[in-house]
């Protein structure tokens, strides 16, 4: 039976972490890599595992790759502190690694946003490559936001979802999108992309159309409309920050 290392990277997550780690007790080992938290995150983590490490945060892909190096399992499974694994998903993961010739699996997420499961506008099924053979996957360090795995082999799909308590308040939503837009602008700048005048209008419109029309955000009611508008605003602010980088 292949062994599974469940990995959680943290930064001031004491409020969420206990429930997250409780949902990972089925794994062969739990690895927590903390980014120098100032709250009780490390204390909470040590109740569940002795494999608790600390490392200064540079960016998400570097932190995840460092965590992979600390794991000892044949497979690694990544979970964020605001996510939970259901018993059904845990059993599906264990069956998958025991019988597969694949290098990894994409796992759907059930995104709970402002207290509601958002099934539209790109938030469902929201597949993430979270389960892969430890020696066949690494995160692409060129992507600082919405990081992706470079996988040496084929990936399959699991059916049961990770439960993700994504945004609990409007303030948290805007704060996180502000951070993401800064990272995205930096990534665009590093790849040689520069802001053009039409980007400030066309990119937000494309983003809104994609989420509201193509991905049926309209079926999410007022919350769906609000989230699509927020993501269009996120696209606009990304290009504003990109333009400012060129100015300096």
Q: Please give the biggest Cα pair distance in the chain.
A: 56
**Fold of the domain spanning 4-166:** Spore Coat Polysaccharide Biosynthesis Protein SpsA; Chain A (3.90.550)
Residues in a beta bridge with 153: none
Task: Please give the angle made by the CA atoms of 115, 91 and 112, to the nearest 5 degrees.
Answer: 10
Among candidate residues 43, 28, 118, 24, the one with its CA nearest the CA of residue 74: 28
State the pTM of this model: 0.91
The tokens for 95 are 């069956």
Cβ atoms of 228 and 208 closer than 8 Å:
yes
Tokens encoding 26: 């089925």
The pLDDT of residue 72 is 97
Beta strands in the chain (DSSP E): 4-10, 29-34, 52-54, 75-78, 83-85, 104-107, 109-113, 116-117, 128-133, 137-139, 149-151, 155-157, 162-167
Q: What is the pLDDT of residue 144?
A: 77
Please compute Rg for the chain using Cα positions.
Answer: 19
* Bridge partners of residue 162, in order along the sequence: 85, 109
pLDDT score recorded for residue 187: 86
How many whole angstroms separate alpha carbon 153 and alpha carbon 176?
33
| Ramachandran assignment for 146, one of left (phi > 0), alpha (psi -120 to 50 degrees), beta (any other) | left
From the list 48, 13, 14, the residue with the least C-alpha distance to 31 is 48
Whether the ω angle into residue 125 lies within 30 degrees of 0, i.e. cis, is yes
Q: Are 217 and 211 in contact (CB under 8 A)?
A: yes
Give the distance, in angstroms, between the CA of residue 226 and the centroid of all CA atoms in the same chain.
21
- Can you tell me the distance from the alpha carbon of 37 to that of 56, in angstroms, rounded to the nearest whole number? 10
Start and end residues for every CATH 3.90.550.10 domain found in the chain: 4-166
- pLDDT by 10s per residue, the chain, length 248: 899 999 999 999 999 999 999 999 999 999 999 999 999 999 999 999 999 999 999 989 999 999 999 999 999 999 999 999 999 999 999 999 998 889 999 999 999 999 999 999 999 999 999 999 999 999 999 887 778 999 999 999 999 999 999 999 999 999 999 989 998 998 899 889 999 999 999 999 999 999 999 999 999 999 999 999 999 999 999 999 999 987 65
> What whole-number distance in Å separates Cα of residue 8 and Cα of residue 67?
8
Q: Is 75 helix (H, G, I), strand (E, B) or coil?
A: strand
Tell how strand 137-139 and strand 149-151 pair up: antiparallel
Query: pLDDT at position 247, please?
Result: 61
């Amino acid at each position: 039976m292949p062994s599974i290392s469940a990995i959680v990277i943290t930064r001031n997550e004491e409020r969420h972490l206990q429930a997250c780690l409780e949902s990972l007790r089925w794994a062969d080992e739990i690895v927590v890599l903390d980014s120098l938290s100032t709250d009780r995150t490390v204390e909470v983590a040590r109740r569940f595992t002795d494999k608790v490490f600390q490392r200064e945060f540079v960016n998400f892909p570097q932190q995840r790759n460092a965590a992979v190096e600390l794991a000892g399992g044949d497979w690694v499974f990544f979970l964020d502190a605001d996510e939970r694994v259901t018993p059904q998903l845990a059993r599906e993961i264990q069956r998958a690694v025991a019988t597969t010739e694949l290098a990894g699996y994409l796992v759907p997420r059930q995104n709970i946003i402002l207290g509601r499961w958002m099934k539209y506008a790109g938030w469902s099924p929201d597949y993430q490559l979270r389960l892969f053979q430890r020696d066949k996957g690494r995160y692409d360090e060129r992507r600082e936001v919405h990081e992706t795995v470079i996988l040496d082999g084929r990936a399959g799909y699991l059916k049961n979802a990770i439960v993700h308590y994504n945004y609990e308040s409007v303030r948290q939503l805007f704060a996180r999108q502000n951070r993401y837009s800064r990272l995205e602008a930096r990534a665009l700048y590093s790849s040689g992309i520069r802001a053009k005048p039409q980007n400030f209008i066309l990119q937000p419109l494309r983003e809104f159309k994609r989420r509201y029309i193509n991905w049926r955000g309209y079926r999410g009611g007022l919350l769906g409309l609000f989230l699509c508008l927020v993501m269009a605003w996120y696209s606009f602010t990304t290009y504003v920050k990109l333009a400012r980088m060129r100015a300096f």
